Structure 1
Amino acid sequence: MSLALVLIGLMTFSAWRNALAREVAQHERNEIIQDTARREQEQLALTSQLLESNPLPICMTDMHGRFLTVNDAWEQFMGLPRERVLGLRNSEFLPAQEAKAYDSHNEALLLSGGQVRYEERLCRPDGSVCDVQVTKVRLESRQGQPLGLLIVKMDITAFLAARDLAEQASRAKSEFVANISHELRTPLQSILGFSELGMLRARQHDKLIDMFGDIHAAGERMLALVNDLLDLSKMDTLIGAFQFERHDVRPIVLEVASELGPQLEQKRLVLELQLGSDPLIAKVDRTRFAQVVRNVLINAVKFSSEGRSINITAALEDTSRIHLTVRDQGPGIPLAELEAVFQAFVQSSQTSDGSGGIGLGLAICQKIMVSHGGSIYAANAPEGGAIFHIILPIAEFTHFEPATTVS
């Protein structure tokens, strides 16, 4: 009997303890549910606040195109109160043509997911027409099920107008530069011609030869600047006329190096070429790519001290691009100017004496490299001097004769 009482007591205690544990667990679950619900409410409130404070017109629709929510900016942009559109489709409160424009891309986006961005010219409720950039994103549940669309509109009318004005100003500037360059070239050719004639006829007069020589040198510098101006003004229109063909870039580098031989000898500079023995084939406009190499090499000659060396290397990098470097042993480029030197009419502070021209050569080089799908940038060598990096995408292999490597 005692044993039975003890057993009953134990069972009662166990049942009480289990009930208490269940009650505690249920209380904890309720707290977790309440906390989760509270967090969700806070998240919804934050999302709603962000939506309402966003200056861009934003709306959300369900899978059938019915409006679930809109923000204040959307109401102002459309000129419609939300009470009039919530639960409705575009076709139920807009003219058929406008509704069709607003609903473009919806069906495909709901089917495939992701997002789409496009520009539209839309008619506002007040009758005005504006250019709008529309971004649409398909919303999905955690399980990946589509819920509807989030649509954001941005009025870009002022931006497009400013862009058109900037393009017109740029075209006007280019036309002016091209016209003035043409006008300057004619008298410059006369100056060069008569200065050459003067040097020939003044062979017996050293002072006259020196004077005509100075005139000729100044005329050549001026003609080079005019040609650069003309080149820059035409570059944007010439890019489409580039003759891209497969070339081994090493012979092009060798040709430019040979062309600048007299300038190298004048400063007793040693040119070290490390171009390798394997062809480095890229699809380039030979004349324009040679212009890039020439401009960079001329800069290296200009900033190198007498008796120093200039190193040119070329190699295949990552099996997908050709990496050409031109390194001098000059003063280098200040860190703050490494990118600025590629802007038109900008020179490095190292050329404060005026020997650097008017700052067009590297700007032209950058335009040429971008048109080739490549790039050009500058850096400073740890041991001193500047390094110009020229990057080109490779072309498919074609047989070329190996170039001679010179040291």
Structure 2
Amino acid sequence: MNLRIFSKFSVLLVSSLIGFILLQWVMTFSYKLPFFLSALLSFLAIALFAFFIQKRLAQSIHDHFFKTLETIRSEWKERLQKVSAEKEELQRVLNEMTEGVLVVDEGSRIRMVNEALRTLFPLPQEVLGRSPLQLIRHSELEEAIRQAVRSGKRSTFELTLPSSPQKIFEVNVIPISSSSEGKTMLRGGGAIAVFHEISRLKELERIRQDFVANVSHELRTPLTTIKGYTETLLEGIVKEEVGLAFLRVIQKHTDRLTKIVEDLLMLSKIESREFQMNLEPLPLTEVFDDVLELVDENARKNQITIFKTDLPDSLSVLADRRYVEQILFNLLDNAIKYNRKGGKVFISVTQNTPREVVIAIQDEGIGIPKEDLNRIFERFYRVDKGRSKELGGTGLGLSIVKHLVQAHGGRVWAESQFGKGSTFYFTLPRQS
């Protein structure tokens, strides 16, 4: 490359020297030469000198032009790299967010989405340039984006998708400033929609409202009965045997209130951070025998026969004895109460993995409708409210079972055929 430059420079230098010498010679000796030859030599000298000047000027312009182009190219390359880095940084930030983010341009076409939005919605791979309504069919979302783009209006609303299970989102739509004073990393106008899933929060709120309504009802009903019978007794217009009957009713409802309060306190205790368990190796045969003694009288009263799988004495779990007995008692008590007259209850234990055992309690009772199965472990939820109250249930037994099993690191679930019976399963960690 250097040799080529040197060669060109040498040619130009020699040409200019020849032209200059020739011009000087012509000017000195022109009076001795014929006019035609003198003019020809003068023209040749001027041409050689002009050629040199033209080449130098062209080279200078060429060098300056390409130097300017190189400067522009470098500046644009630097700017493009900066924009690309900003875009990558923004995409990384968006992908780290747990909320779904949708960015549209001034024409309400998608510019960017993050990974969380792809998780929340079944989006196709290619979404850029498309309308949000094509991907998330919700007219309120489309209108909110349109208002944000056109008039800079912010909006917040709930978006519900008719999926299974149902998904609920809180959506915030924010306009993007198109002026140079805009504070966002995004330029050119448009809008950002942020999707925060609140399905779980809505479910918890529904459970809370149901709990408040149910506990109020459960406490008010026996209190109303107690108050009415007490007022009648205080009036002193009832016979002794009637008064004794009233007192028995009062005692029954007082016991029911006491049981409800005890169960509520138990749930509160389990859910508190201070809840602790005394985990120890626990032979299942001993626990089963102790709990069966507790439910034996009620089983015989209802003509229920209980069958238990033979277990090896060495089979132990790592658990708190008090709470395992509570779990078994609640499940067996339900299996007896909601069984048919003369029905059977089966207790079985399986060892699916080396780390846990699965305990199953099966009855031949009324069963549970399919639509109620996913709610039976909620506080105060009853499938048959009338029968439950008649049998003295508080509606908290299965909720206590669920929390105690989970406190041991186990799982609990139910299977049922309506009209044929139910089976409740729960797991406990094995003693290694």
TM-score (ref. length: structure 2): 0.47
Larger radius of gyration: 2
